[in-house]
Amino acid sequence: MGQAPHLRVGEEPQGRGERAFRLTRWFGGVALLAIAVIAAASVWLLGWFVTQRMLLQEATLTRDFVQSPVAVETPLQEVLAHPELGIPPGAEEPFQHIARMPEVLRANLYDRQRTVVWSSDSALRGRRFGPNEELDLALTGSVVVEKKTRGERSSGKAEYESLAQPQDLFVEIYVPVRDVKTGAVVGALEFYKNPRGLMRSLAELRRYMLAGAVVFGALLFVALFGLVRRADRLIQAQQRRLVESETYAALGEMSSAVAHGIRNPLAAMRSSAELIAETARGPARPGDGATTQEAARDIVAQADRLGARCASC
């Protein structure tokens, strides 16, 4: 039997083109990709959620701001109660106060028939535009907020015409207007706002979330990689011990086979030496028998000695 080859962990067996499996190498690639995907998805989802909540808060503040002048200004109530009569002289100033709210690009007032009763852009007054789901929701009593980009504006609703937009992003807010006495929805105010402060806060928040995701993702990767590397080293050590055990077992089997092959001839030699010693008891010439017997006993002793060593293998 040949000697079993002794291989180190990570060494390619002879005659094979396969590379040894390294747990740390595979874990490093897979874990890094998985953590990066999870971190990116978490940042995007959290950013989207926070953006929606802050936009809704902006819309709620706008609603609370416009409810006060609508509730106390009698001309505004008259316009909403009788939109067919037009804008009385006393109502223009309160409307202008609403239109001059910070960061407002345009303000439109719609009646229940979805007609623009008043607008900060005088060219839109008295017009009715196409389907508008956000306006429909506002006329049912809901506060609606939508974030629009310049591209969406250029291919969006007809109300966007001639809208000045200094920034790429603007917010569209619909606020229901209720009757002071009955609480019924009598119209809706539409605001196009460019909340630069809000957008800066959101951009800064996204940067912080991205930085936090990178830091925590790196910490998680380092911690998991350390554990996996320790486990990989333990596996390699166990594999080395297993290879050594297999090598020693092969050597033991080979030694047993060699010892067995030696013991059989030794037994035959010992038997022959004993037979020679027996026949040499009656020598033909003086001195020959003693010499022969002594040599035969010496052969037997050496055979016994070698046999004992083979038995211990």
Long-range contacts of range 85-91, CB-CB < 8 Å, 24 or more positions apart?
Answer: 87/117, 87/118, 87/125, 91/118
Nearest to 174 by CA among 197, 154, 157: 157
7 has a pLDDT exceeding 50: no
Rounded-to-integer distance, Cα 76 and Cα 218, Å = 58
Q: Could you give the 3-state DSSP secondary structure of residue 149?
A: strand
Distance of CA 217 to the CA centre of its chain: 9
Q: What are the tens digits of pLDDT across the range 184-226?
A: 888 888 888 887 777 788 888 888 888 888 898 888 888 888 8
101 has a pLDDT exceeding 70: yes
Rg (CA), the chain: 49
pLDDT confidence tier of residue 11, bands split at 50, 70 and 90: very low
The partner residues of 107 in beta bridges, in order of sequence, read 191
| Cα–Cα distance list, 225 to 30, 125, 212 (Å) | 11, 66, 19
Which H or E run includes 281?
none
pLDDT, mean of residues 48-72: 79
For the whole model, what pTM was predicted?
Answer: 0.56
User: What is the pLDDT, as a whole number, of residue 120?
Assistant: 81
Q: What are the tens digits of pLDDT across the range 270-289?
A: 777 777 767 766 554 555 55
311 has a pLDDT exceeding 60: yes
User: What is the pLDDT, as a whole number, of residue 136?
Assistant: 87
User: What is the pLDDT, as a whole number, of residue 152?
Assistant: 61
Enumerate residues 6+ apart whose C-beta is below 8 A from 187: 80, 83, 109, 110, 111, 112, 117, 139, 176, 177
The angle formed by the CA atoms of residues 276, 281 and 282, to the nearest 5 degrees, is: 115
